Amino acid sequence: MIGSVAIKEGTPELGSHLQAGEITLLVDKAQRPSTRKLQVLLSEQKIHWNGYDELAPDLISSRVVSDWCQASAVSLSRLIEMIIAINDPSKIVIGGGLNLKLVETIVDNIALKNGTRKEKIAFATPVLTAEAERGSPAFGAAYLPLLEVMYQ
């Protein structure tokens, strides 16, 4: 699954149970973007990838990877709109534990609906790529218990 976190006043908004970043749980399992699905698609093309290592530029621009990134962006776009509509964070950061080029491609394809019924701009929240890559899950595993202790 792809994680995301809303940032408000420089602090991650993780919710009262510290699980707010698991936005892909809001969509049906079949629609969830996951590196496992991409691994299966690549393996059908006789390409073996572990889910983390860099992909060659020609593979990043291949139809299989491009389609997966586009489908991931569509799923994430709707979820991000929900987060923005409910929390109005200063930014949304996506990534961590996922190949950086894939995250960048997904973020580049995220399209938010900017109009409301009154046709005012509603979603000016930037969607950014997390700078950390492989270490992010380890950081999150250490950071969440720390937050729990600090804010109890």
> Which pLDDT score is estimated for 114?
62
How far, in Å, CA of 68 to CA of 80, rounded?
Answer: 18
Task: Yes or no: say if 15 and 71 are a contact pair by the CB < 8 Å rule.
Answer: no
Structural domains in the chain plus CATH codes: 4-150 (3.30.420.40)
> Which pLDDT score is estimated for 149?
46
> Which pLDDT score is estimated for 44?
94
Residue of 69, 139, 136 whose CA lies nearest to 97? 136
> Which pLDDT score is estimated for 63?
92
> Which pLDDT score is estimated for 25?
60
Low-confidence ranges of the chain (pLDDT < 70): 1-7, 17-27, 96-97, 114-124, 131-152
Residue of 86, 87, 41 whose CA lies nearest to 65? 41
> Which pLDDT score is estimated for 147?
45
> Which pLDDT score is estimated for 123?
60
Residue of 139, 147, 146, 53 whose CA lies nearest to 102? 53
Tokens, residue 131: 């700078």
Q: Which residues of 77-107 are buried (b: 16+ CB within 10 A; e: fewer)?
A: bebbbebbeeeebeebbbbbbbbbbbbebbb
Which DSSP state fits 117?
T
